[in-house]
Structure 1
Amino acid sequence: MPETATPIQLSQIREPSLVEQTIRERIEVNQQKKEIKNADLGHEGDRAFFVVDLGQVYKQHQRWMIELPQVQPYYAVKCNPDPRLIMFLSKLGVGFDCASVDEMKLVLNLTPDPSRIIFSNPCKSDYSIRFAADAGVGIMSFDNLDELEKIKKFYPGAHLLIRIFASDPTALVHLESKYGASLDSTMTLLRRAFALKLKVVGVSFHVGSGAGDVAAIGQAVKDSSLVLEEARSVGFNPHILNVGGGFQDSNFELISNALRTALERQIPNNITIIAEPGRYFARNAYTLACTVIGRRQVCNGLMDMIYQNDGVYAYTTSTSTSFNGFSNLYPTVYICSEATVSDLI
């Protein structure tokens, strides 16, 4: 588990109101660069950029500690692998949920403590299992028999979480068709793991990204309680429950209350509870500053068409594709005085 958090002074955290000021400062710097004779800015002069407000991350962490103090967060690195964000979360005592070798390498290069990583991908390549073993990443998940055979061959000392089926019909991204063992298969998996002399230390689930159904949370915790008992009956000593991700800024208190209630009713006090928040930490901390590079008047349309220097094949890919469940972007326009369109970046 992650070690005690390093204290961070509130004075180190920038206020959200400074985001606009930071964008304006960047514009002024680039305007000064353009005044240099024969300066060749190349692509740098026409590049969109992010303004990162780590104060938002800090506030979300404080909010988490108030609402879910009994749940240790492991940040889902796949959500946003920005090294600055990872370092900051590390200082707050947050662990890291990795789904690939590259993500594990990134975290280990920044915070070289493998005990702070869980390898949560239930379907892993042989190489990735060997890498986790060599790196000392101890906890990983599984949800099928083939995965158990691979783990036995390449990392028999791993501590395993059996991932079970969970589903929130209101989630923005559904995972139930991709991952999670059904309740009628968990005993078979647990018995096979025991026969292979593997170490099942707990249960995990994920109701889907952008969860909103409190009943789905309650059902997943109830199912987890049953599988924890199954693991005990087989001969394991499970002590971890991973409640996955899906946490949102907009309904965090509602979901947290439902999760707390379910945990208090269904899960013994000696079980360590962990979670995999991703967008919860990253979403509000990043502001993309891009330039309007053109406008086309539409004769028969209600609105003109505006073109910018960033699109679905660049920074906004993960937020604009239907795969990730977030199809709508809501830009904020900042009007900068004494600046032409070409001066904005």
Structure 2
Amino acid sequence: MASGIQEITYYEHELNIRRVIEEQASLQNVDAALNICDLSSVERKYNLWVKYLPRITPYYAVKCNDDPMIVKVLAELGAGFDCASKNEVKLVLGLDVAPERIIFANPCRPVSHLEYAQQHRVANGTVDNEFEIYKLHKHYPQSNLIVRFKSEAKEAQCPLGDKFGCDADADATALMLLAKALDLKVTGTSFHVGSGCSELEAYDRAIKKAKNIFKFGELLGYDMNFLDIGGGFPGSDDGKFQKIAEIVNTSVQRHFPDDRVQIIAEPGRFFVAAAYTLVCKIHAKREVRNEAGKLDTIMYYLNDGVYGSFNCILYDHQVVTPEHYLDESAAFPEFKSLIWGPSCDALDKISEDLRLPNLNRGDLIGFPNMGAYTVPIASPFNGFEVPRTLYFRAM
């Protein structure tokens, strides 16, 4: 491997995590965990999206992982961006992304954030209640209102309907009538079936509802030309993604055959989950024995936890999978194991009921698929450092 510009290391064929770790001699001498980021994984995911969802433009959900390197790669590939705050908009605009490639997809925005969007001509934004419509009327009347309705999957990692989205039947029409009375412009509608959606049919159900909202908007004289089908796409299961794509394509062709309608989605974990492997070091160990003195459980204490990268366990309900880096050719007996984070909080538990070899202080443990809802949420709680990141890309 050879180092390239912008602190990116280039590799041939396939990124070998074990080899990367072996080359990082300093890992044994530093306290912080390490993110290994494969930027080419993001590019491969983008190409997969274009292949299976050619009609739908991906607007990357910046909140999922706001690492500027990730955002830069997606910007260069031509993705749009789903931003939830002024700072996310600022990050994206700073990479010379046109404002038309941004949707301000937070239905409840602070006034200062609306004013920033207005100053930078970021016109597309979601809305789901009358108070926000009045706010837009006062602070950004030139914006394009995209009415967000509720249409949740029956099974999702992170349901969102309790917080966002109006009732598609009772409220969406009333909001459009109010916007019409205030001389505001409604251009489309949006939904989100829930982050990490497992009920694939939820997309078709929501797209049908969107079509009805489009019809009502057209009756009011609006030029309805924008549909946002939200997120929920898996980040580490390409087979599942292809099944979702098939359902979405069929539904879109049935209900929105007119190519004049711009259709976007808000994938987050889809692009970044598989791009990151988190490497942690065991800094302490404890053996728990039963009354007879027999070894029951081995506890390991790592240099990252649920207040750092593993916040995804709390926020995103993620189940993490540890991998050790002992000699692959040897067979090691496994023991019941439990993994803790480094803080003094007893809630800082990463994983339990595991089967791992008898590891030692200083050994490394890797966790694949750690790119979603980790980097932007990690904090230095209790004074422990957040992980640094090494970037890699295929030649």
Q: TM-score, normalised by structure 1?
A: 0.87
Cα contact 2:75–2:97 (8 A) shared by 1 = no
> Taking CA–CA contacts closer than 8 Å with sequence separation of 6 or more, which of the two structures ends up with the larger relative contact order?
2
Residue of structure 1 equivalent to 2:325:
334
Q: Aligned AA for 2:267?
A: P
The equivalences for 1:17-28 within 5 A come to 17-26=15-24, 28=25
Change in Cα spacing, 1:132 to 1:13, as seen in structure 2 (3 Å) is farther
| 1:207 is the counterpart of 2:193 | yes
Residue of structure 2 equivalent to 1:265:
254
Q: Aligned AA for 1:215?
A: E
Q: Please tell me the root mean square deviation across aligned C-alpha atoms, in Å.
A: 2.2
| 1:241 is the counterpart of 2:227 | yes
| 1:324 is the counterpart of 2:316 | yes
Residue of structure 2 equivalent to 1:185:
171
Residue of structure 1 equivalent to 2:286:
296
Distance 2:13 2:273 in 1: 16
Secondary structure of 2:117's partner?
helix
Distance 1:271 1:259 in 2: 15
Secondary structure of 1:86's partner?
helix
Per-residue deviation at 1:78? Answer: 0.4
The equivalences for 1:39-118 within 5 A come to 45-118=30-103
Residue of structure 2 equivalent to 1:196:
182
Structure that is richer in strand per residue: 2
Distance 2:309 2:13 in 1: 24
Q: Aligned AA for 2:228?
A: N
Per-residue deviation at 1:342? Answer: 4.2
Secondary structure of 2:71's partner?
helix
Distance 1:14 1:146 in 2: 54
Cα contact 1:19–1:53 (8 A) shared by 2 = no
Cα contact 1:194–1:235 (8 A) shared by 2 = no
Change in Cα spacing, 1:309 to 1:336, as seen in structure 2 (3 Å) is farther
Per-residue deviation at 1:23? Answer: 2.2
Deviations 1:124-170 (A, max 9, x none): 11111111111221110101111111111111111111101111011
The equivalences for 1:301-316 within 5 A come to 302-316=296-310
Cα contact 1:166–1:220 (8 A) shared by 2 = yes
Per-residue deviation at 1:316? Answer: 1.6
- Give the counterpart of 1:230 among 216, 223, 229: 216
Residue of structure 2 equivalent to 1:168:
153
- Give the counterpart of 1:129 among 93, 114, 117: 114
Q: Aligned AA for 2:282?
A: V
Structure that is richer in helix per residue: 1
Cα contact 1:14–1:55 (8 A) shared by 2 = no
Distance 1:261 1:13 in 2: 39
Deviations 1:159-212 (A, max 9, x none): 111101111011111111111111211111111111111111111000000112
Change in Cα spacing, 1:220 to 1:138, as seen in structure 2 (3 Å) is same
Secondary structure of 2:157's partner?
coil
Q: Aligned AA for 1:56?
A: S
Residue of structure 1 equivalent to 2:377:
none
Distance 1:141 1:14 in 2: 43
Residue of structure 2 equivalent to 1:7:
none
Change in Cα spacing, 1:54 to 1:165, as seen in structure 2 (3 Å) is same
Unaligned runs of 5+ in 2: 1-8, 329-359, 365-386, 388-395
Per-residue deviation at 1:18? Answer: 2.5
Distance 2:61 2:12 in 1: 24
Q: TM-score, normalised by structure 2?
A: 0.76
The equivalences for 1:142-161 within 5 A come to 142-161=127-146
The equivalences for 1:9-24 within 5 A come to 15-24=13-22
